[in-house]
Amino acid sequence: THFRWHNRLTNTLAFGHYNGSLSFFYQSKKCQKNCLIPENTQENAENIVIAVEWDILSDDYLLAANAVTGTRLIDSRSLTALMQFKLPSTSSHIHTLAWLKNAPGMFVTGDTESGVMRIWNVSRQNPIENITVKVTVGFHELSVLDTPYEENYDEPPSSPSKANGSVALPPARIVCTFADGGVGLYNLEQRRWEFLRDLGHIETIFDCKFKPNNPNLLATASFDGTIKIWDINTMTAKYASPGNKGIIYSVSWAPADLNCIAASTAKSGAFIWDIDKVKMIRRFTEHLSLDATGVQQTNMLATGCDDKRIRVFILTTNSETPLKIFSGHVAKVFHVRWSPLREGLLCSGSDDSTVRIWDYTQDSCVTALKGHIAPVRGLIWHPEIPFLLISGSWDSNIRIWDVRDGACIETILDHGADVYGLSIHPQRPFTLASCSRDSTLRIWHLSAFSSRIYASLLANRPWNEILGTAEDAMVAEQQQTLLCGPMSRQLRANFGSETNNQNMKLRSFSEFLLPPVGVKNCWTLLDVILRDNDSLLPTDYSDGIMHMKHISKYKISQAQELESIKMSKFAGGIGNTSKEEKLKQAADLYLKLGHMQKYCELLIEIGEWDKALAIAPSVSIVFWKSLTERHAKYLAKEDSEDCLPYYIATGNYENLIKLLKSKARLHEAVLIAQIAQTNPVSYEESGITGKHLPSLKTKTNPSNKALLDSTTELLADRYFTSGQPVMAANCHLSNDQYDLAMSKLIMGNELELAVSVGMALKGHCSSEYFETAGFGDRNFTSSKKFEAMAGLSNIEHYDKKSKSENLSVTERIENYILSSSPGDALDVGISTIKDMISKKNWNVDEVYELIQYLSCVRTEKLQDSSCTRQRSELLALASIVGAIISVRMRYDSLVRPLFLNAKSLMQQENLELPISVMQINAFILAWQSRILSSKDEAPTVLLSDDLDNMRLDDHKQRQILDDLYQLAGKASNECLRGRVICAGSSYPSHSDVKYCSVTDSRIHGSAFFLENGQSCMALNNAIMWALANPFSPLNSGALINPF
């Protein structure tokens, strides 16, 4: 049942068996088999070994836990049980255990039926501490991370018991998993969760369905016998059904506002679960053996069966004979789906790995979609685009098909196992949910389609270029993707023929086209900023990020609601010792002598802080404040929540916020910072009903505004680095930091939303952000000029004009590009760039602008064999300039790859450029030393790359690095400096393991494929590369456009 290799002795192995015994296997000595069976095992047939762990500090000792008789300390050499550990109750059982690596002789166990973690010492039979970390469910597994112990010599010596009477626990971080799929990281010393996801599935997820009248909720059905209800905004499970004795294969939400779910199971028929009552209200035990799946359209029912056929029935007749039978699949048909937008069009998924499209009116298979290599399970039509079909398969892939020509538009490989369920958000048709045997639920955004439609809306294009009929959309030559579904038509009807209310239009369509996380919250914050009307706040406003002016009001309202529930707090005393007794006697003497200050100080020594603080004002208020600050600091070190009132009483908000930040409790830190900025609030005691907030009397404290701003920025950065740029922008909007909000949207590549927010804010934010968001492609300036020139004259005109000597360099390049000899633009541009770089103090921005112009030369011209050397020079120069731009913009991960790309081109083509290969090597070494150095001193570095064995001493490194920073210059807007992090960048991949061709690091989140269709980059890196260098890193001359 269990086995463990020895931690230090190779070829030493311990086994635990079903009969409760242990076996020890050695390479160099006799093995011991089926020994150490616990007493009374025959009476306990289920007394299997459930855990075995070798002592990390011993060659012979190990812990073994049995399901019924509990845990023993075993000596494997003498084959004896040294200690039988006893649980507090006979109803308690151990399920998992692990040694505490920083505390010799101590280990931790997790219970089977409850989330009780017990701390043990091998010298005692009973646990030294019991901690309930989860109430409703038992442990699945726990593991102690390797956390180095750091002794704090600044802290005063303390007793082994804390002030509240609990035992001081060793430093340890424990990964805990639970039977309900929950997982968390527990800090044992501080007795708190550093991370906790309460619920999750632990087995295959077969089905997922959005709730029709509240599509922010998503239900899943699993092999583990449970239904989970997920909030897709936070991706956390809010509800879980009681465990079912059988697999749950499918779920269906009840109609209207009934908060119930029907589910079908493998063994127990079907049941209905009432979510509000948290119980099953009805079970159907008549179990039918179904071998078909069927779907209905108007009066027609289609079924797919084990006999490989699809049958269509007319429901208005009493005949049981199908009207039509379609044949073509060579294996079982698992799913059939009618198109919601085209009458008579039907798709089917089969175990033969194909998806087939059938036209009921033509009695034939229109298209066979081939690409999957395993049975097809998930199948769904897009509700707005009639030619889009999405399928999921046992090959772990999700494929998006264009049924007009049978092409697979996109393949999603991120799931690690069979894909079963697919569901589209009822109000956001470009948000897709999928579930899999890898036990994950994933939310996808079909941005390739929604971005084009959003761009048309932002450009205020006519409605007939956005909306259309299914027949129009099915035309293969149609350039624009048209929306044809009922949701888009309803949105169009809401605006009538007038489009004056642009903000409302952008809000409605952004919530329609964009993924759900943070978008609604963003528009609510914009309403608060622009309208200043609290009566319009939605009921779920407090679930998201609130504006700073509402946080205090809401918290007071919340406190008043809870005021009727008061809990007593009992604190245990510290055990008396001889030392403490002597200190008490000394304190009594000082008290009788009238030395109150000494009396208070000795009370503190013995832990009687409350008494000391009560007496301290008799000395002075200054003394009381100093003691209060000391007490707060002491409590903070002890990780006690009681430090909060003392910090606030003394006005020490900075340390309190620092403490909350260290615990990653940033939302509370923002609240404290806001209180500090406005001074403690007073409020009028008036009845609070419904969602109305109390009126506050605030007094602004400008000196703490910086504290509020920095705390808000830290919370925003937390969201941003975790791949949630919209939530990061919402943090800044809540604090009226409009420019920072725009910068987070831009750097998160949420350009459409950034334009919408910029249009809504208008004069509130800088126009620079609006322009940057609206035109992610840096070619805008030059392309706008070309657009203005296009069609005005013939090629001969530009041939003649390009020869004029009165034109500037940029004007000559423009005319050459539009002339019959665009290659001449390369000669002029490259020659000019070389001359500029040859100067001592050359301007990177001027060179960068010329490179942007030259990137407008047609790709086919650049790729022509006659332009090989010109192309190589241009690409090398673009990479050098791109590396310097990356230094300026803090695209740190791309500086070295861009320099190496330039060096490679120069060596391959023997290019002679003003910046030599040796200079590039020096730049790379100096930059790498900056990355490798953990302190201010930069070490001498020799890289393993082919850098001609160049060595740089400390002084030379600093000098070159200073030159590089000076050459890069400062960014025009500091808020736009820093790496780009797109939504979902931190999510793991499973089967879809890709490596970035530029950085050679594993890609998390979305990948961007380059022009050869094989090489790819992380989307974050691709965007930063395009902002620094317009040309692809494959050096083909093609442009890179990941926007």
Q: Judge residue 569's burial from the number of C-beta atoms within 10 Å of its C-beta, 0-12 exposed, 13-18 middle, 19 or more buried.
A: exposed
Distance CA 701, CA 212 (A): 47
| Residue 774 predicted with pLDDT over 60 | no
Is 536 or 85 the better-scoring residue by pLDDT? 85
Instruction: Measure the CA angle with vertex 109, ends 105 and 113; round to 5°.
Output: 165
| Residue 783 predicted with pLDDT over 80 | no
pLDDT tens, 662-671? 777 888 888 8
Looking at residue 275, its amino acid is I
pLDDT tens, 394-419? 988 899 999 888 889 888 888 888 99
Cβ atoms 889, 1039 nearer than 8 A: no
Three-class DSSP category at 745: helix
Residue 781: band (very low, low, confident or very high) from pLDDT cuts 50, 70, 90: very low
What average pLDDT is seen over the chain? 80
Q: How is the beta sheet containing 2-5 ordered, strand by strand? A: 2-5, 12-16, 22-26, 32-35
Q: What is the per-residue pLDDT for 1028? A: 92
DSSP one-letter string for 138-164: -EEEEEE--------TTSPP--SB-TT
Residue 150: band (very low, low, confident or very high) from pLDDT cuts 50, 70, 90: very low
| Residue 858 predicted with pLDDT over 90 | no
| Residue 960 predicted with pLDDT over 50 | yes
| Residue 577 predicted with pLDDT over 90 | no
Residue 693: band (very low, low, confident or very high) from pLDDT cuts 50, 70, 90: low
Is 990 or 314 the better-scoring residue by pLDDT? 314
Is 442 or 928 the better-scoring residue by pLDDT? 442
Residue 882: band (very low, low, confident or very high) from pLDDT cuts 50, 70, 90: very high
Q: How is the beta sheet containing 333-338 ordered, strand by strand? A: 333-338, 345-350, 354-359, 364-370
Q: Please name which of 334, 338, 466, 476 lies closest in space to residue 407, comparing C-alpha atoms.
A: 476
Least confident span in 547-556, 741-750, 909-918: 547-556
Residue 558: band (very low, low, confident or very high) from pLDDT cuts 50, 70, 90: low
Q: What is the per-residue pLDDT for 355? A: 94
| Residue 788 predicted with pLDDT over 50 | no
| Residue 117 predicted with pLDDT over 90 | yes
Q: Which pair of structure tokens corresponds to residue 666?
A: 């940033």
Cβ atoms 688, 694 nearer than 8 A: yes
Residue 790: band (very low, low, confident or very high) from pLDDT cuts 50, 70, 90: very low
Per-residue pLDDT, averaged over 518-541, amounts to 83
Place of tokens 């086994």: 15
Residue 473: band (very low, low, confident or very high) from pLDDT cuts 50, 70, 90: confident
Is 633 or 716 the better-scoring residue by pLDDT? 716
Q: What is the per-residue pLDDT for 128? A: 92
Q: What is the per-residue pLDDT for 678? A: 66
Residue 496: band (very low, low, confident or very high) from pLDDT cuts 50, 70, 90: low
Q: Judge residue 200's burial from the number of C-beta atoms within 10 Å of its C-beta, 0-12 exposed, 13-18 middle, 19 or more buried.
A: buried
| Residue 353 predicted with pLDDT over 70 | yes
Q: What 3 state SS string does 856-892 have?
A: CCCHHHHCCHHHHHHHHHHHHHHHHHHHHHHHHHCCH
Per-residue pLDDT, averaged over 443-470, amounts to 85
pLDDT tens, 291-326? 344 455 567 778 887 888 888 877 777 767 788 888
Q: Which pair of structure tokens corresponds to residue 203?
A: 């087995």
Chain centroid offset of residue 363 CA: 47
Distance CA 458, CA 509 (A): 10
DSSP one-letter string for 752-777: HHHHHHHHHHGGGS-HHHHHHHH--S
Three-class DSSP category at 398: strand
Residue 699: band (very low, low, confident or very high) from pLDDT cuts 50, 70, 90: low
Per-residue pLDDT, averaged over 1008-1030, amounts to 89
Per-residue pLDDT, averaged over 973-998, amounts to 78
pTM for this predicted structure? 0.76
Q: How is the beta sheet containing 106-111 ordered, strand by strand? A: 94-99, 106-111, 115-121, 129-134
Q: What is the per-residue pLDDT for 878? A: 92
| Residue 888 predicted with pLDDT over 70 | yes
Three-class DSSP category at 717: helix
pLDDT tens, 964-979? 888 888 887 888 888 8
CB 681: neighbour CB atoms within 10 A?
A: 16
Three-class DSSP category at 712: helix
Three-class DSSP category at 469: coil
Q: What is the per-residue pLDDT for 551? A: 79
Distance CA 24, CA 72 (A): 16
Distance CA 732, CA 572 (A): 44
CB 607: neighbour CB atoms within 10 A?
A: 19
User: What share of the chain in percent tops pLDDT 70?
Assistant: 84
Q: What is the per-residue pLDDT for 938? A: 38
Q: What is the per-residue pLDDT for 944? A: 41
| Residue 560 predicted with pLDDT over 50 | yes
Is 48 or 10 the better-scoring residue by pLDDT? 48
| Residue 880 predicted with pLDDT over 90 | yes
Q: What is the per-residue pLDDT for 772? A: 57
| Residue 432 predicted with pLDDT over 90 | yes
Q: Which pair of structure tokens corresponds to residue 136?
A: 């409703």
User: What share of the chain in percent tops pLDDT 90?
Assistant: 16
| Residue 628 predicted with pLDDT over 70 | yes
Distance CA 414, CA 428 (A): 22
